Amino acid sequence: MKQIVIATKNVGKINEFNRLLVPYGMEVRSLLDLSYEPDIEETGSTFEENALIKAREIAAKYQVTVLADDSGLEIDALEGRPGVLSARYAGESRSDVANMDQVLDEMKEVPDDQRQARFVCVLAVVDEKGKELVVRGECEGLILKEKLGTAGFGYDPIFYLPKLGQTMAQLSQDQKNSMSHRGHAFKMLEERMRELL
């Protein structure tokens, strides 16, 4: 069985990737399984750069195939923020609640017709030989003025999907996987990943 390491300690992301990869006969591990302690310093200015930084570091250290993502929320009214700083937008505590509250506070005067946003996910796969693949998926929506729903993680409770009439945090995991930014990026990666694996 081909082993792939997900370059994250985020349990929410690990669970999502596990559900996506297991049907392909992959043995999925994460940085939690490797007891990898230091945080990988994300010094890139784009999602693509940060995903590759993480994938390259873990692939080189453990000589395994690595899947890394960098994802976040881009809000038009905030000139693309929080962007690559999404996980730590309200500070290094990386609190989902604090991050959402920061966004809601900054957007309290933004009218309903100017609350467009998108979730972005860039996936980078680097194998033990250094071969690399990078894809980008997006999911368009609106930022609500309050939190709705208890599923998901990150900014899901304030990210509203007009076509479904629900936030990301109100969807089932299967619904979310089928239409999320991560789901879209994974679909783009599938065919090329077969070549790599």
Ramachandran sector of residue 54 (left: φ over 0; alpha: ψ -120 to 50; beta: rest)? alpha
Catalogue the active-site residues.
Answer: 70
d(CA 5, CA 62): 9
Structure tokens at 142: 């609106």
Sheet holding 27-30, edge to edge: 27-30, 3-6, 65-75, 116-126, 132-143, 159-161, 166-167
Cross-strand partners of 134: 124
